[in-house]
A and B are shown apart, each in its own frame.
Chain A
């Protein structure tokens, strides 16, 4: 865990951007997507990576409903964590605005930022479209 008073440069700006509806990812000239902070494309080693707007809609490719959590998520259980693809990049987040038992592979979602029940920390969430 990081000290609350010290930012994680690159990550915190991204969280702020997503919460304002202006999410982005890093794209290289070979159309590989990744998430900040990075200086190098992890897929091809390109140094030429730039911020590109995240597509509005993603698709859940896999998910799990977590019942046994770390202390930071103790009051959030049960919760659904999913990996969703937004164009050239995938993101991990929690499903919101949907009952956990109704989450399925293939559902269309929008990305947002919300707070955890347990600590009030920001986290990435997906809301079904």
Chain B
């Protein structure tokens, strides 16, 4: 089985660029990833591409070939859809294809164009990640779903809006020097608490923004990297995916994310590492409560203790395990189909030393990426490690 290297990464700026087409966004990210890798276009054997709401935002289905064409790749292309985990599952498929010898060079990534829909339109588009009959028709929005989980968490384990606010404050702080981030401005707990409510107990600053953006990574086999003398020190050494019942009300727990427990368990075992080995993590903080659930599923916090991790400084830049040094979905932005791949980009840069926040984790050699879809009916976890050669 071949090892899998992250040979190159490419990210557009995340933010509001409503006029930019999906194809233009992905062309930028894909071309940047190929240039970063130093890999010839002709060597790319397939594009694995994540996108969630292209039909609603751009009246555009069948995006795989369109995006391959945009990057100038003459190879088969397939779109993956798992709501906000769309490009996370694309990365996982890429890892498996390289490992099983099917491919030596793959372009993997994703795009989302959202801000052209406006807030109400994007809210409607995001809601289709939930069960239409049993959740959406009752008026449950995407923020509303996480608010239900937050309220259930408070009732089950305790915690306060101030605890959650500390997560938003941390992630905004981390994004201050990330020029790709949507928000590069500091906020304080009071700002989060006083912000307009979206779906109580979650306010505007508990929520990730609506974003446009694209991300891409070039995955290559160990053999290809060696033969072509690529500078690709970071490998994907573990991959895992978990699933759960679609509707929140059908799940055993309203304040936990067992699909991510399963994904993490599989990814850790695959890589032969444990939570104690993790030096840095990028987790799916679409809402502040989502970071809490992620930390607990990943084994970085005990169940019921994740809510205070940021407030206690355990996950801040100078904490035990810095979480979301990119700014996370919260501050970096969340173009949903791009998010899973963007986490791999950010982690690879953090580990190889060319991320604006690499200095915070200068000795790190193991990173974790956690990408979730819907109310975590889909979860994907990847382990990235720095290899010695």
Question: Chain A interface (Cβ within 8 Å of chain B)?
Answer: 8, 11, 34-35, 42-43, 61-74, 76, 79, 81-83, 90-94, 105, 116, 121-124
Contact of B250 among A8, A90, A124 (CB under 8 A): A90
Beta-carbon nearest neighbor of A80 in chain B:
B200
B195 nearest CB across to chain A (Å): 11
CA distance A116 to B152 in the complex (A): 25
Given the complex, which residues of A lie within 8 Å of B245, measured CB to CB?
A: 42
Do A34 and B250 have beta carbons less than 8 Å apart?
Answer: yes
Question: Chain B interface (Cβ within 8 Å of chain A)?
Answer: 119-121, 123-124, 127, 133-141, 143-144, 147-152, 155, 196-202, 245, 247-250, 254-255
Given A91-B249, A94-B138, does the pair A64, B120 have CB atoms closer than 8 Å? no
Do A71 and B250 have beta carbons less than 8 Å apart?
Answer: no
A11 nearest CB across to chain B (Å): 5
15 contacts across the A-B interface (CB closer than 8 A): A8-B133, A34-B250, A35-B250, A43-B250, A62-B155, A64-B202, A65-B197, A66-B147, A67-B199, A68-B143, A69-B123, A83-B152, A91-B134, A105-B152, A121-B137
Do B155 and A92 have beta carbons less than 8 Å apart?
Answer: no
Do A90 and B137 have beta carbons less than 8 Å apart?
Answer: no
Do B198 and A71 have beta carbons less than 8 Å apart?
Answer: no
Beta-carbon nearest neighbor of A74 in chain B:
B120
Do A124 and B138 have beta carbons less than 8 Å apart?
Answer: yes
* With A63-B151, A66-B147, A92-B140 already in contact, 9 other A-B pairs whose C-beta atoms are closer than 8 Å: A42-B245, A65-B197, A66-B141, A67-B196, A67-B197, A68-B123, A70-B124, A83-B148, A92-B134
Given the complex, which residues of A lie within 8 Å of B121, measured CB to CB?
A: 71
Beta-carbon nearest neighbor of A82 in chain B:
B148
Given the complex, which residues of B lie within 8 Å of A67, measured CB to CB?
A: 196-200
Prevailing SS type, chain B contact patch: helix
Given A83-B249, A105-B155, does the pair A64, B138 have CB atoms closer than 8 Å? no
Given the complex, which residues of A lie within 8 Å of B133, measured CB to CB?
A: 8, 11
Beta-carbon nearest neighbor of A67 in chain B:
B197
9 nearest CB pairs, A to B: A64-B147, A62-B152, A90-B249, A70-B124, A65-B200, A66-B199, A62-B151, A73-B139, A83-B249
Do A64 and B196 have beta carbons less than 8 Å apart?
Answer: no
CA distance A83 to B150 in the complex (A): 13
